[in-house]
Amino acid sequence: MAKEKDTKPMANTVIGSSIVIDGEITGEEPLTILGTVKGKISVAQSVTVEAGATVEADIEAQTVTVSGRLTGNVVARERLDLKPESKMVGDAKSPRIVIADGAGFKGNVDMDV
Amino acid sequence: MADKETVIGPETRISGEVRGEEDLIVRGRIDGKVQVTQTLTVEKGAIVQADVDVRHLVVSGTVVGAIVASESAKLTSTARVVGDLASPRVMMEAGAAYRGRVDMGDIAAARAAVSSHAVQRLAANEKAAVRPAPPRMATPAKAVVAGKAAAPVAPAAPAARSAVAAAASPPSPASPPAFPRVAGAMGAMTPAWAKKKIRRR
């Protein structure tokens, strides 16, 4: 609900739905992806893969929220959130992992226990 | 609006290729290649070190690389741009710093020249032991068609290639062939030979 407001571009980085990035994204600010990213993502804050987005990349971030399709290994220092309708293939490493009802996931889970 | 707009924030850096069909606003940094069918806005403080192929270009920050803007290019008063610029409409405000060649004519030819740049850069990036054939060989037809526009690129190319060969080991991001040095301030960027050339023109 309030989420829709959050995705509006502020000081953050937003990769729009028609954008294709092939390479590496590094940063210190929240990253929202609606388009396609292939390669590697390394962000100090949150990464949000919105519905309709396709990410084929290894992700390293504080929190990772997936509503779209994600192929790659994820290291979330704080939290990984797989929303309903999301599809993820890859290994997940995070102290807190939330997989919602309806989410698709294939891979290893490592919660550091 | 919010849907059809991509923003690269000030603390974000992308190295690689960015393609798309919407407006792109850069406040951070992009190294590599940018190909957008709409407007690319490089805001003040932003750095784009890439070959750029867009419809409209508005620069308030720094751009280093070969630029093709198929409709218009605007350099505002805070712009710092190094690289050949091809666009039918070019606007430069007082205070803009620019070094390179402006071509308001044949965009298609310039685009071919830029893509051969890109091939060259990719080759440099891969830094394989076996150096691939020069890009001009890879796209002979385009190079011939390019004719006049491709010609100015040619003299700088051998120098750049030998520079790449000499500096094969350091993994520095490949700089545009015509402007081998890109780090540092505007003044430091300009090699002596380049200054001379501009003065003679």
Judge contact between B42 and B27, C-beta under 8 A: no
Among B residues 17-56, those touching chain A with beta carbons less than 8 Å apart: 17-25, 28, 32
Asked whether this complex has an ipTM greater than 0.85, the answer is no
Half-sphere exposure of B85 (CA within 13 A, CB side): 25
Q: What total number of domains does chain A contain?
A: 1
pLDDT score at A112: 81
pLDDT score at A47: 95
Domain that holds residue A68: 11-106
Residues (pLDDT < 50) of chain B are: 1-2, 128-188, 191, 193-194, 196-201
Residue B136 CA to residue B123 CA, distance in Å, equals: 12
Residue B66 CA to residue B63 CA, distance in Å, equals: 9
Per the listing, tokens 């071509």 go with: B103
Alpha-carbon distance values, A34 to B5, B77, B80, B95 (Å)? 10, 33, 31, 37
CB contact under 8 A, A12 and B16: no
A2 in any annotated domain = no
pLDDT score at A42: 95
**DSSP H or E segment with residue B63:** strand B62-64
pLDDT score at B122: 59
Q: Which amino acid is at B33?
A: K
Tell which of B4, B17, B18 to mutate to test the A interface (max A CBs under 10 Å): B18
Degrees (nearest 5) of the Cα angle B194, B83, B70?
A: 150
Residues (pLDDT < 70) of chain A are: 1-11
A19 in any annotated domain = yes
Judge contact between B40 and B57, C-beta under 8 A: yes
Share of residues in chain A with pLDDT > 90 (%): 86
Neighbours of B194 (CB within 10 A): 18
Judge contact between B132 and B123, C-beta under 8 A: yes
pLDDT score at B105: 81
Residue B157 CA to residue B201 CA, distance in Å, equals: 20
A86 in any annotated domain = yes
CA A39 to chain centre: 13
Residue A83 CA to residue A65 CA, distance in Å, equals: 7
Contact status of A96 with chain B (Cβ, < 8 Å): no
Judge contact between B71 and B88, C-beta under 8 A: yes
Give the closest-approach CA distance of B91 to chain A in angstroms: 27
Judge contact between B40 and B34, C-beta under 8 A: yes
**Which residues, at least 6 apart from A108, have a Cβ–Cβ distance to it below 8 Å?**
A91, A92
Structure tokens at A6: 């959050």
Count of positions (residues) in chain B: 201
- Return the residue of A nearest to B2 by Cα: A8
Q: With beta carbons under 8 A apart, name residues in chain A contacting B17.
A: 20-23
Each residue's pLDDT tens digit, B98-128 = 999 998 887 777 777 777 766 666 566 555 4
A113 in any annotated domain = no
A44 in any annotated domain = yes
